[in-house]
Structures are given as structure tokens and as C-alpha cells.
């Protein structure tokens, strides 16, 4: 009796694996951008996994592609770097968690607006895990708590791979924001987890970021390596 051929069902495509990197010491901005650009190009070529890099910078101001020079109120206070990300002026410094997000959007829908919405969802979910209710403000990018901004978003997409990402104020010196009009919002104060008397341990914040990321974006985190 002839054997009947078995119907072969295709296996479901595996979830994308995202590599997580974390730097223990503040990383100079130019060095970080060069490393991010290199990794993003490798992701675009299919030579590296998608990546989220958690880090801090020394105190700096960055100028996005929509920045107005008049919004730099103290030009000699900290180094100012032109950035390829969207947005206006922002501050980075110790106590602020930055997540550079290098994701392959060609496998995630090629929808930049939806991607930014997902970044907002990620920050809101992270804050919820830390006991804070984050919210959107219509017409503004970023996340707010009781009217004050706690997290910023600035991205660039090259060859359908995302670059730059988000920053979350954990325990930075909030007075440092006074040298700029943060994100062009002259009437909006800035706040932090510390100011809200929430969790400020960076390891706990990183754990919340990773757990919330998997909720929003899916995919298994394959490692959490120290870099640079």
C-alpha cells in the first residue's frame, strides 16, 4: 500500500530577537552616534540583530532638525551637538536614561508614525511599571506626567532602520534644562522620577524598560551586555 504524502505546514516565522546593550559609564555623544550609525547599517544589511542600547551622556544639548536657534538660551553652558534626529533642542546628562533603538522597520510595517506611537506606548507602559501614570499631549511628541514632561522621543529612519530613540528623566539635574527651551515647549515644565518620588535605581528602570518593550514590540531579548 502506497504511503500518503504528509501535508507539510509552514512553521510560523520566529519573533525578531532584539539584543540589549547597557553602558555603565556616560558615553560621549559623538562616540555614541558613530556606534549607533554603524550598528544601524549592519542591521539594514542583515548582518546584525536589532538592538536597544541603554546609556547616559555627559551634560550636553542636542539640536534636532527642527530646532530654532533662539531656543538655545545658554549657548556656552554645555557642548551643543547637531543631531540627525527629528525635534528641537533637548538636554542629555547623567541621571537620564537614553535608549537608542535600532529596529528593522521593514519587518515591522514601514510605518514611521505607528513606530513613534509604539515608542510612546513603551514609555507609558514603563512608567506604569514604576507606579507613574504617563500621558500623551495632543500635538506634542513625548510623555507627560501631570502636565510636566518626563520623557522625550526623537528618531531618524535610514534604510528602514530606526536610529536615536527615547530619553527618560530618572534623576537628572532638572536645572540643566533651563539653558534651552526643551523641545520648543516654553510653558511646559520638566520632571523626573526622582521629583515624583518614584523608583530611581537605574537597574530597576532598565528592567521596567525591557519588560514594557517586550509587551509593546514583542520579540525575545537575547542578551544584556555591557558595552563601552
What is the maximal distance between C-alpha atoms in the chain?
A: 87
Backbone angles phi, psi at 180, to 5 degrees: -140, 170
Backbone angles phi, psi at 16, to 5 degrees: -65, 140
Q: Are 63 and 89 in contact (CB under 8 A)?
A: yes
The string of DSSP letters for 40-84 reads HHHHHTTSS-EEEEEE--SSEEEE-TT--GGGBS-TTTS-EEE-S
Alpha carbon distances (Å) from 175 to 75, 109, 189: 15, 39, 11
Q: Tell how far CA 5 is from the center of its chain.
A: 50
Q: What region does 129 belong to: left with phi over 0, alpha with psi -120 to 50, or beta?
A: alpha
The Cα–Cα gap between 159 and 154 comes to 17
Bridge-based pairing of strands 50-55 and 96-102 is antiparallel
Q: Which residues are catalytic?
A: 183
Amino acid at each position: 500500500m502506497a504511503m500518503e504524502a504528509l501535508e507539510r505546514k509552514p512553521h510560523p516565522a520566529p519573533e525578531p530577537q532584539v539584543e540589549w546593550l547597557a553602558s555603565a559609564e556616560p558615553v560621549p555623544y559623538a562616540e555614541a552616534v558613530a556606534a549607533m550609525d554603524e550598528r544601524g547599517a549592519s542591521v539594514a544589511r542583515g548582518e546584525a540583530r536589532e538592538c536597544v542600547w541603554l546609556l547616559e551622556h555627559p551634560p550636553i544639548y542636542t539640536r534636532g532638525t527642527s530646532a530654532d536657534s533662539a531656543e538655545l538660551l545658554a549657548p556656552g553652558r554645555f557642548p551643543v551637538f547637531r543631531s540627525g534626529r527629528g525635534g528641537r533642542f533637548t538636554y542629555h546628562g547623567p541621571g537620564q536614561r537614553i535608549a537608542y533603538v535600532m529596529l528593522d522597520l521593514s519587518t515591522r510595517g514601514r510605518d514611521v508614525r505607528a513606530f513613534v506611537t509604539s515608542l510612546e506606548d513603551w514609555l507609558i507602559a514603563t512608567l506604569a511599571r514604576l507606579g507613574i501614570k504617563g500621558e500623551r499631549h495632543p500635538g506634542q511628541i513625548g510623555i507627560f506626567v501631570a502636565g510636566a514632561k518626563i520623557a522625550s522621543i526623537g528618531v531618524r529612519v535610514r534604510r528602514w532602520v530606526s536610529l536615536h530613540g527615547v530619553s527618560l528623566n530618572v534623576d537628572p539635574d532638572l536645572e540643566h534644562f533651563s539653558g534651552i527651551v526643551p523641545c520648543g515647549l516654553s510653558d511646559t515644565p520638566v520632571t523626573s522620577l526622582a521629583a515624583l518620588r518614584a523608583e530611581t535605581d537605574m537597574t530597576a528602570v532598565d528592567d521596567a524598560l525591557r519588560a514594557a518593550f517586550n509587551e509593546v514590540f514583542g520579540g525575545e531579548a537575547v542578551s544584556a551586555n555591557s558595552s563601552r
